[in-house]
Structure formats: structure tokens, C-alpha cells
Structure 1
Amino acid sequence: MSFDGPRDDRPTKNQRREAARLKARQLREDQKKKERRNRVLLQGGIIVVSLAIVTIVVLAITSSIHPAGPGPKNMASDGILIGAGMEPVSTPALQPKATPVASKTDETGTVASIRIYLDYLCPYCGQFEKTNGEQIKQWVTSGAATVEIHPISLLTSKSAGTQYSLRAANAAACVANYSPDDFYAFNQELFKDQPEEGSAGLDDSQIKKLVKTAGVTTDVSKINDCIDDLTFKSWVLDATDRALTGPLPNASIPSVTGTPTVLVNGKQYLGSLDDPKEFASFVLQAAGETYSTSTATPTPKPTAAS
């Protein structure tokens, strides 16, 4: 009978080294798989977040863009023309991106053609209106002049974020569209207690109260909806761009550079904004210059305010 000595089952040094290499290799492969998985998850997360951001931005942009639509009726020239007896001239709505149709004016000079580009937040426009609004109304009523009013929005960013200039011009377009006979009265109401530049201006409910104060009784609910919906926002923006880039039809200047821009028989008035006699003299002179080149029969002429 023989007995074997004790057996040594412990791995050899080479075996331990090989096992360590295999384990390290497995750890490296596991780490690479983990990194690939994390990279895929990270990329997927970035894509999801990016898509979410893009969606939010697109929604924000599309919600701020008002779809282009027709302009207001009775403003195919980008302004409303009011003639003898304060009677507005009817015109069809200007289609999106269409070129405005210049109003016909009396080229004989027997009737003074007054054209005003204004911004309802502009303090100088308010000053001009308060000084000359009633005087112009008398001339137009008598048939001595016509007045064409172009609301634009140069000061949209000057109302503490409320875009009052734009909203007021839109409201004026709403009245021109639905109740043109009341446009001049509403135009005057917007200047009576004019908000200061830099203030929030009037909110929509206050603007709608001015519609009532101006005596508007025709399609009031439609006008209110038009104000709430900013129906003519795109038209106001386009009309403003057209006034700024020009050309202005039948005018001595190529474009509007500020408000108020006042033209009489195409000639720009650059005089005092708070002296009605100076403006009346300019109107008389402009009408006289035009009339002197024609042989038309005289009609009532504007007279200076007393």
C-alpha cells in the first residue's frame, strides 16, 4: 500500500496572471458596453430635448405671427380718404401683398388735398391733431379740402410691451372697415386723452370704450371682435413698411421718416405743430400754387382759423 503526498490545487502564478488578464478584459468590455449604452441614451435624450425646444420655439413664433389677410375696406391707399361733407370714399379691401391704389386727388388745386401719416402714440401727432383737427374738419365739411389719414405703427416698442401703437392702428382700421362714417370722430378720440410715449397705453377694453364715445353704432360687436383679434395686424405692419420704404404717391418726399408726416397737395408741411394759423397759411399757399397752374373755376378755399 502506498500513500501519495498532499496535493497542491492552488493555481500557479501563470494561471493567476492569465485569470487576472481575462477578468480585466471582461471589465473593459463591460465598461465599453456601459459607455456605449450611456452614449446612446444621452444622444437620445439630447434629441428629445432638442425636439422639445424646437417645438416650443416654433409654437412661440407661429403664435406671434398673425396670418396675412386682406386689409380693411375703404383703405385701399393704406389710408382713408374723407371728402366733402365728411363723406369717406369707399374702396375694396387691399389684398395681402397687393400694391396700394393711390387716391385720386384734385389736381386743379381748387380743393386742398391734406394727407396725414400718424402714430396714435406719437405726442407730436397728438399736438398736431389737437391744434388742427377741428379746422381740417371744417374745411372738409365745406368742400374746401379733403383729408386722407394713414395710421401707421412706428412706436410699437415704446409702450411697455403692450404694442399700443400697433393695437390702436388696428382699431382705427377696424372702424374704417365697419363704420367708415365714424372714422374721423374715432381718430380724434384716440388723441383726446392720448397716452404718453413709453407708457402701457390703453388696453383693448379702453379702446373699445372710445369706439362707443366716438358715436359708433354700426357693427359695434364686429369692431370689438376685430380689436380683440388684431384682425388687421398684418396690414398695419405692411402699411407701415410701405410708408417707410416708399415711394409715396403724389408727394414731394420719397418716404415717411417720422410722424406726423403732413402733405398738402403733395408738399410736406414742416411748420409749427401748435399754431393753426401757420398750418392754414401753408394750406392756402399750397392750394394757390397748384391753382395758379390751372384754369379751373374756383371753389371754397380753406381759411385761416380765427
Structure 2
Amino acid sequence: MTTGGSDDSRLTKNQRREAAREKAKQLREEQRKKDIRNRVILIGSLSVVVIAIIVGITLVITSTLKPAGPGPLNMASDGIQIGQDFKAVPTPALAAGEDPVPTVNDPASGVIDIRMYVDYLCPFCGQFEATNNEQIGELVQSGAATVEIHPLTILDRSSLGTKYSTRAGNAAACVANYSPDQFWAFNGLLFSNQPAESTEGLDNDTLKDLVSQAGATATDDIDACIDDKTFWSWLEDATSRALKGPLPNSDEAAVTGTPTVLVNGQKYSGALDDADAFSSFVVQVAGEAYSTATPTPTPTPAG
């Protein structure tokens, strides 16, 4: 007994040929549908890849061509100058894309001009600060010197992706903008609480706490300025200008490392951890300025 199916042996030769053609037609149709589905899947996958590439390129172009940001108040030179009693010298904010305006110092005034280019993650900057903060502070407080501080963002790569140099520099710029007379105190706190390289650095909440410890006013505005990254773009531009040079009021071509410390335009190249060496350099440079600025008395003709 035969069970199930039809017996092809009962079909004629023409019927078997027609059945084979129909079967082949069905197979071709199924293959055609399968090919269409595969093409759709392939095109969809390629579209996703192309879109991802376009987005990536757009992000790169956007980050590269991002517009310059405005600078903070009191940092028109790309730095903030601190004078007697730690009062900041007021200056207008740089407009977006505007060139900095170098601070004008008169050597004949007898006031020593100290200028420092620093990165708040730089351990050598921290070493110089720990060694010389007190004596520089005494000179500034008494009016014998001014100090101009330029935050830079060279070491962002050393903070595990958190861009600590930029975050700390931005916080300093926020203080300069909203509470400039507390900048010196905040600058000191950034260094006395300086994190080590190859760490994430201080988080933003800790930076805000240091702002309060410095006695800053307008802390709500400063906190928002820190969170909003208000001066990140300006910091990037200021760092680029310092690294490209030339440094104003100096023979130095550019910043080649931090700290770069200039006294009346002359670069200090002594030991960073030797307070006496730096003090001697300041006295020497100040003496040169005095002797140059003081005219030699004209002899009185004999009567």
C-alpha cells in the first residue's frame, strides 16, 4: 500500500516537464525575493555606516572650527594683573576673536613686573608656587611689584579625559570675571590643593568649594560659569597664543614649558625650589631697571 503524495510515474512526459518548469519558476521567484531582502539589509547597513561616518566628520569639523569665545573681564592681556593689596587691575573683556591687549608697564616707576604662565596641573608650577608664593605676595601687597598670571591648558592629556587643566583654568577665569580681587587667593588654593598628574583632578564641586574658601563674591555666577564652561574656548585660544608667541614686553619667542616666569620681561631660569635664587634674580633685574631709568647727573660747570 502506498501512503501520501501523488505518483509521478502516472504523469505523462509533457506533464512532468511542465511540473519541472513550474518548480524551477518557484525556486527562481524565491531566490529573487531572497536577493531583494539581502540587498535591502545591505543597503540599510551601509546607510548606518555612512551616517555614522558623516556624523563623526561633522563632529571633528565642528570641534576644529568652533567659534572663538569671549574672554573674561580683567584679562584683556590673556592674564590678570594683581597689584597692591591684591587688587586686580580692571580691564574690559575681549570680544570673541579679538586680539589681546598687552599690559603696559613702566620700568621707570620702580614697580617690578612679574608675569607667570602656569598650568594648574603642572607639578613644576606647583613647586615654584610653594617655594615663592609668600615672597611674591609680600612684594605685591606692599606695592613693590605686580604679578600677572596667565592660565594655560597644556596638560589636559594628563587628567584621564577630564580636561582638568581647562576646567581649573576656566574656574580661574570665572573668578577673574566675577570676583577679581579674590583671584590671588583662589590661584594659591588651586596650587595648594593641586592634584597629581595622571589623575582625574579635582571635580567641579571641589573647585566651587575652593572659590568659596577664597572669599569670592558672586559665587552663584561663578558656579554657573564653571558648569557652563564659559571660557573654555577663550582659554584654548590664549594657550595657543602663548605657545605660538611672541610674548609681549619680552624677548622670549614663546612659552616652551610651564612655569614660564618673567621679571621685567626677563625669563627666570634658576631653580624652581630655591626661594633665594628667585629673590636674587628679582633684585638683580630690578636694579638693572633702576640704573637704566635713572639719568646720570650732569656735572656742574666750574665757575
Shorter-normalised TM-score: what interval? 0.7 to 0.9
| CA shift digits 1:152-184 (9 cap, x unpaired) | 111112123322221111111010000101100
Matched positions, count: 288
Gap change, CA 1:224 and 1:45, over 3 Å in 2: same
**Separation in structure 1 between the aligned mates of residue 28 and residue 73 of structure 2, nearest angstrom:** 76
- Report the 3-state secondary structure (helix = DSSP H, G, I; strand = E; otherwise coil) of the residue aligned with 1:72: coil
* Contact 1:117/1:150 (8 A) holds in 2: yes
**Separation in structure 2 between the aligned mates of residue 31 and residue 196 of structure 1, nearest angstrom:** 65
Q: Which residue of 1 aligns with 2:219?
A: 220
**Separation in structure 1 between the aligned mates of residue 160 and residue 251 of structure 2, nearest angstrom:** 35
* 1:52 Cα deviation after fit: 6.2
- Could you tell me the TM-score, scaled by structure 2's length? 0.84
Output aligned runs, 1:22-101, within 5 Å: 23-25=23-25, 27-48=27-48, 50-51=50-51, 68-101=68-101
Gap change, CA 1:205 and 1:105, over 3 Å in 2: same
**Separation in structure 2 between the aligned mates of residue 134 and residue 65 of structure 1, nearest angstrom:** 42
Structure 1 gap ranges (5+):
1-8, 298-306
- Could you tell me the TM-score, scaled by structure 1's length? 0.83
Q: Which residue of 2 aligns with 1:254?
A: 253
Q: Which residue of 2 aligns with 1:186?
A: 186
**Separation in structure 2 between the aligned mates of residue 199 and residue 45 of structure 1, nearest angstrom:** 40
Gap change, CA 1:296 and 1:280, over 3 Å in 2: farther
Q: Which residue of 2 aligns with 1:267?
A: 266
**Separation in structure 2 between the aligned mates of residue 65 and residue 202 of structure 1, nearest angstrom:** 29
* Contact 2:68/2:237 (8 A) holds in 1: no
Moved more, 133-142 or 31-40: 31-40
| CA shift digits 1:118-164 (9 cap, x unpaired) | 11111111111121112112212222211100011111121233222
**Separation in structure 1 between the aligned mates of residue 63 and residue 287 of structure 2, nearest angstrom:** 52
**Separation in structure 2 between the aligned mates of residue 158 and residue 292 of structure 1, nearest angstrom:** 45
Output aligned runs, 1:166-181, within 5 Å: 166-181=166-181
Q: Does 1:291 align with 2:269?
A: no
Q: Which residue of 1 aligns with 2:278?
A: 279
- Report the 3-state secondary structure (helix = DSSP H, G, I; strand = E; otherwise coil) of the residue aligned with 1:88: coil
Q: Which residue of 1 aligns with 2:211?
A: 211
- Report the 3-state secondary structure (helix = DSSP H, G, I; strand = E; otherwise coil) of the residue aligned with 2:157: coil
Q: Which amino acid aligns with 1:139?
A: L
RMSD, aligned α-carbons: 3.0
- Report the 3-state secondary structure (helix = DSSP H, G, I; strand = E; otherwise coil) of the residue aligned with 2:115: strand
Q: Which residue of 2 aligns with 1:108?
A: 108
- Report the 3-state secondary structure (helix = DSSP H, G, I; strand = E; otherwise coil) of the residue aligned with 2:103: coil
Higher helix share: 2
Q: Which residue of 2 aligns with 1:123?
A: 123
